[in-house]
Amino acid sequence: MINDKNLKTYLTSDVVNYYQYLEQLQPAEETLIKRLRHQLPTMKMLDLGVGGGRTTKHFFPLVQDYIGLDYSVAMIEACQQRFIHSNQPIKLMVGDARDLSQFADNSFDFILFSFNGIDYISHEHRLTTLQEISRVGKSGGYLFFSSHNLQAIEKAFNWQHHLSLNPFKTYVDLIMFAFLRGFNPSITYQIIKQKNYAILRDESHNFRLRTYYIRASEQIKQLQSNFDNIQVYSWKTGLELTTNHDLIGCSEMWLYYLCRIK
């Protein structure tokens, strides 16, 4: 299964070490903190796909109650080690976003799933995960997550997009294009243009991961049954994308979504 292969990657020491030493928030995450700064001190937060604790460092001091969850035992162990000298105990758990049965309905005011963690499970399990998040989240609570943008990778499958006046850049880009096509032999530029989502092997961790890419319009449709007030934010700038033109024209590799739980 796709998710099992990805889990094996997230258990390897080199990948765990990579996430263990990440520290900085991304611009969209900084925007979120500014937006919710008056509400965070009263919130119970679930941090899904917590990895090595990049987001723990920033959100744990701000919220009333914090739980970090990851399906990789090695990631949780690394995260625990990272905060072993914390003045306050941090609750970190091994668990799977697809099955949050250890939590009661309406448990959390704020659920974060950062660094595209939702993109490393199958399409069916993605929908299950969104249902589980809706169940354990309180009505009116917030979900904030990032996901890979299919419109961005679409360009990467067009060999003409890699041509430039710089011969060295063209050479490097075409080599990466060859790897991308080699790891995804059934996917062409014409095929991907017709898809609303696709699961691809990209360059993440040397093409070891199978990654879910989705168009913003399709992601909004997935959310509408369980969430409302859906907003989309630029990963790079942290600014909200407010028009269809912004969404269609955005070529950033991933986007952030903020929504309220129904």
Mean pLDDT of the chain, nearest integer? 94
Do 118 and 29 share a structural domain? yes
Do 228 and 103 share a structural domain? yes
Q: Write the CATH number for 230.
A: 3.40.50.150
Do 105 and 45 share a structural domain? yes
Taking residues 131-138, what's their average pLDDT?
A: 98
The per-residue pLDDT for 213 is 97
Structure tokens at 5: 């292969």
Cβ(30)–Cβ(55) under 8 Å? no
- From CA 86, how far away is CA 68, in angstroms rounded? 15
Do 252 and 223 share a structural domain? yes
> Which of 62, 217, 89, 69 is CA-nearest to residue 132?
69
For the stretch 151-182, pLDDT in tens is 999 989 998 888 888 888 888 889 989 999 99
Using alpha carbons, list the distances in angstroms from residue 228 to 134, 225, 236.
11, 8, 24
Do 9 and 22 share a structural domain? yes
The per-residue pLDDT for 22 is 95
Do 84 and 12 share a structural domain? yes
> Which of 111, 107, 117 is CA-nearest to residue 75?
117
In a domain, 206, yes or no: no
Do 174 and 132 share a structural domain? no
Question: What pLDDT band is residue 2 in, cutting at 50, 70 and 90?
Answer: very low
Do 171 and 140 share a structural domain? no
Please give the share of the chain, as a percent, with pLDDT higher than 70: 99
**Cα separation of the two ends of the chain:** 31
Provide the b/e sequence for 203-220 (b: ≥16 CB within 10 Å): ebeebbbbbbbbbbeebb
Residue 237 reports pLDDT greater than 50: yes
The per-residue pLDDT for 192 is 95
Using alpha carbons, list the distances in angstroms from residue 33 to 29, 164, 167, 203, 243.
6, 39, 43, 30, 23
The per-residue pLDDT for 139 is 97
Do 143 and 174 share a structural domain? no
The per-residue pLDDT for 176 is 87
Cβ(81)–Cβ(142) under 8 Å? no
Residue 123 reports pLDDT greater than 70: yes
Range of the structural domain that residue 183 is part of: 152-201
Question: What pLDDT band is residue 1 in, cutting at 50, 70 and 90?
Answer: very low
Pairing of strands 108-113, 210-214: unpaired
Do 238 and 116 share a structural domain? yes
116 burial via Cβ count (<10 Å: 0-12, 13-18, 19+): buried
Question: What pLDDT band is residue 3 in, cutting at 50, 70 and 90?
Answer: very low
Do 221 and 181 share a structural domain? no
**Domains of the chain: total:** 2
Write the CB contacts of 49 (distance below 8 Å, at least 6 apart in sequence): 69, 70, 71, 97, 113, 114, 115, 117, 118
The per-residue pLDDT for 214 is 97
In a domain, 210, yes or no: no
DSSP line for 59-77 = HTTTSSEEEEEES-HHHHH
Taking residues 194-202, what's their average pLDDT?
A: 96
In a domain, 91, yes or no: yes
Q: Is 21 helix (H, G, I), strand (E, B) or coil?
A: coil
Write the CB contacts of 220 (distance below 8 Å, at least 6 apart in sequence): 230, 232, 257
For the stretch 47-63, pLDDT in tens is 999 999 999 999 999 99
Taking residues 106-118, what's their average pLDDT?
A: 97
